[in-house]
């Protein structure tokens, strides 16, 4: 499955933003763009997001 389709599936459980500058998310204000950033808002949505990450064997950073 393509990463774009996975992002759509993830959006069922969390806010998904595309091409986010990592400099806006780090204390050192450095970094390139992240293809997708996922923002789960509840523990349940976090569990669902993590299940999809595992299902599709995606790499992730917290």
Over residues 8-30, mean pLDDT: 94
Write down all domains in the chain, each with its CATH number in brackets. Answer: 3-55 (3.30.43.10)
User: How high is the mean pLDDT of the chain?
Assistant: 94
The distance of Cα 17 from the centroid of its chain, to the nearest Å, equals: 8
Q: Residue with structure tokens 């990592």?
A: 22
Asked if the model's pLDDT at residue 61 lies above 90, the reply is no
CB of 21 closer than 8 Å to CB of 50 = no
Which structure tokens are listed for 39?
């923002």
pTM exceeds 0.95:
no
pLDDT of res. 10: 96
């Amino acid at each position: 499955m393509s990463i774009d389709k996975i992002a759509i599936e993830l959006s069922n459980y969390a806010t998904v933003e595309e091409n986010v500058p990592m400099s806006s998310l780090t204390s050192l204000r450095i970094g390139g763009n992240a293809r997708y950033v996922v923002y789960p808002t509840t523990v349940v949505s976090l569990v669902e997001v993590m299940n999809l990450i595992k299902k599709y064997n995606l790499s992730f950073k917290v």
